[in-house]
Amino acid sequence: MQPRIVFRTHYQVDEPAYMEFLVKLCTSPVQSAYPEIVAQRLAREISSRGRDFNTAAGRYAVDLAKALGLVTANLTWTERGQLTDLIAEIPDGTFEEQLSLTVAEKLLHFRVYLEADGGALRHLARQFVESGRLPIPGRDWNWLAKDMFTTVYSEYLIITNNTADRVALRREIERIKEKGYEGKTGPHKLFAHLQVLCRLGLIEHPDSGGSRAYQVPASPKGTRTGIQLLVEELPDAFTLERVIKEHQTLELAARVLQLPCIPYGSEPTRADRERALALFARYYSVLTGKGVPLCPISTLTEAVQIDLLTKCAQLLRHTEAMELLHQAQKSFPKDVRFHVDRRGCPAFLKLSDQVLHRFARAGVAQ
C-alpha cells in the first residue's frame, strides 16, 4: 500500500486551479503529448495572466498532475482528469477570480486531493487543530516537512502488509529522519498541500507582510470548524482508506465543507430519478463528444453527485447512483450497457442515442 501523499511539489505550483488549467487548456482526453510541450503550454497560460511562471515550474505541475492521477504517463486524461474537465470552470475576470474555487470545484479538489494526498491533508489538519496556525513558533517549514513525511509514512507502515512496501517505507523514514530538509525544500514540500486546504476554505492565509502563514478561521462560539470536522471524520489512515474504498469521499466532503443538503433517499421520487438520469445523459454526451470511447462510471457518478449537491442541495450516495443505473439497465437492456474492468466489475457505461434523448427529455419535462 502506497501512502496517500504527494512527494514532488514546488512552491510555485501550489494553486489547485493550476491543475484545471493543465487539464482543460494544455492536455487532451485522447491525444498524448510530451511533458516539455505541456509544461510550455501551462507556462504560457499562467504567464499571460501576469503571474511569474516558467517552463521549469511547468514540469513540476506536470509531475503533480500525474501524482494526483489527473493524467496518464502519456499525458492524456484519466478518469479524474475527465471529472476535472466536466466540473472545473476558468471564468473571465481577474487571475485571482480564476484561482478561487466555486463550491463545485471545492468538491472536485477535495475528492482528487484526498485520494492522492489524503495522508498529508490529515496530518496538516491535525497540526492546525492542535496549534491554530502554521508555521508553529520555533518550528520552521523544513522541520514541519520532515515531521509530515515521517509521520504519514509511519502511519502507513502500520497498516501495510506487503513486505516490499514495508521495507521501502522503513528506508524512506530512516532517510528523512537522518537527512531532513534544508533551505527552501520545506516550502517546496508543504505549500502545495497547505494551499489546497486554504482554497477549500478550511484554513486562511492572512496578510502577514509577504511571508507565508496560515491559520484556522474564526467560527461562531460552540461550532466546529471544517478543519476540526476533517480530523474527527478521519482519525487515522485506516479510516481514510475505508472512505476511499467505499466511494464515500464526496459524502465526507459535504460534511467537512458543511454544505446544506438533504439525502437523495432510498425511495427517490420519479422527479429525482429523472433529474439524475438527465445529468448522467448530459455528462455522458460531453465526454463522448470529446472522443472518449467508453465513459467511466466513476467519472459520471461523481459529476452527477457534485451537480446535485451544488445545484439541488441533494446528496446522492455512490450506492444510490449505482442502483439508479442498474434500474435503468433493467428497463432498457439494449440501450444501457455496462462494460466490466479486469476484475469483472462494472466500470464503463455505454448509452444508445435513443436512451440519451429519452433521459434528456425526461429531465427537461420534470
The predicted structure's pLDDT at residue 126 = 97
Residues 292 and 351 in one domain: yes
Q: CA-to-CA distance for 317 and 248, rounded, in angstroms?
A: 7
295 and 153 in one domain? no
Would you say residue 212 lies in a domain? yes
CB 330 within 8 A of CB 283: no
Quick check: 268 pLDDT over 90? no
Domain CATH code at residue 333: 1.10.10.1420
Under the banding of pLDDT at 50, 70 and 90, the label for residue 104 is very high
pLDDT tens figures, 247-259: 999 999 999 999 9
With CA atoms as reference, report the closest residue to 173 among 147, 143, 139.
147
pLDDT digits (tens, 9 = 90+) for 149-175: 999 999 999 999 999 999 999 999 999
In a domain, 248, yes or no: no
In which domain, by residue range, is 156 found?
Answer: 16-233
Closest C-alpha to 64, from 142, 108, 11: 11
Domain contains 319:
yes
The residue to which cell 493543465 is assigned:
22
d(CA 142, CA 185): 7
How does the average pLDDT of the chain come out, rounded? 94
Regarding whether 276 and 215 lie in a shared domain, the answer is no
Q: Which of 214, 233, 252 is the last residue of a domain?
A: 233
Q: Could you give the CA distance from residue 303 to residue 308 in angstroms, rounded to a whole number?
A: 9
Of 33-42, 313-322, 354-363, where does mean pLDDT reach its minimum? 354-363
Q: Are residues 38 and 177 in the same domain?
A: yes
Separation CA 159–CA 150 (nearest Å): 15
pLDDT of residue 326: 95
Which pLDDT value is given to residue 221? 82
pLDDT for 86 equals: 98
Total Cβ atoms within 10 A of residue 147: 16
**Residue 283 and residue 314: Cα distance in Å, rounded?**
18
Residue 214 shares a structural domain with residue 68: yes
**8 within some domain:** no
What does the pLDDT read at residue 267?
78
| pLDDT score recorded for residue 344 | 86
Over the stretch 307-348, which tens digit does the pLDDT of each residue have? 999 999 999 999 999 999 999 999 999 999 999 888 888 999
Q: What is the pLDDT of residues 193-237, one digit of tens each?
A: 999 999 999 999 876 556 789 999 988 888 899 999 999 999 999
Same domain, 185 and 283: no
What pLDDT score was predicted for residue 366?
Answer: 53
Q: Residues of 35-56 as b/e, b for ≥16 C-beta within 10 angstroms?
A: beebbbbbbebbeeeeeebeee
**Residue 65 and residue 186 share a domain:** yes
Tell whether 6 is covered by a domain.
no
Q: Are residues 267 and 229 in the same domain?
A: no
**Per-residue model confidence (pLDDT) at position 342:** 86
Q: What is the predicted pLDDT for the residue at 208?
A: 57
213 shares a domain with 109: yes
Provide the domain count of the chain: 2
Q: Is residue 109 part of a domain?
A: yes
Q: Is residue 116 in some structural domain?
A: yes
Three cell numbers, residue 164: 516490499
Section 28-39 average pLDDT: 97
Q: Domain boundary residue among 211, 233, 255? A: 233
Percent of the chain residues topping a pLDDT of 70: 98
Look up residue 215 and give its amino acid. Answer: Q
Cell of 136: 508553529
Q: Are residues 54 and 188 in the same domain?
A: yes
Burial class (CB in 10 A: 0-12, 13-18, 19+), 80: buried
Last residue of a domain, one of 233, 251, 275: 233
> Is the domain of 227 the same as that of 270?
no
pLDDT band at 61 (very low <50, low <70, confident <90, very high): very high
Position 149 in a domain: yes
Q: In whole angstroms, how far apart are CA 28 and each of 12, 24, 47, 250, 288?
A: 24, 8, 21, 26, 13
**HSE-up of 193 (CA within 13 Å, CB side)?**
32
Q: 3-state SS string over the chain?
A: CCCCCCCCCCCCCCCHHHHHHHHHHHCECCCCCCHHHHHHHHHHHHHCCCCCCCHHHHHHHHHHHHHCCCECCCCEECHHHHHHHHHCCCCCCCHHHHHCCCHHHHHHHHHHHHHHHHHHHHHHHHHHHHHCEECCCCCCHHHHHHHHHHHHHHHHHHHCCCHHHHHHHHHHHHHHHHHCCCCCHHHHHHHHHHHHHHHCCCCECCCCCCCCCEECCCCCCCCCCHHHHHHHHCCCHHHHHHHHHCCCHHHHHHHHCCCCCEECCCCCCHHHHHHHHHHHHHHHHHHHHCCCCCEEHHHHHHHHHHHHHHHHCEECCHHHHHHHHHHHHHHCCCCEEEEECCCCCEEEEEECHHHHHHHHHHHHHC
**Same domain as 152, residue 67:** yes
pLDDT at 212: 87
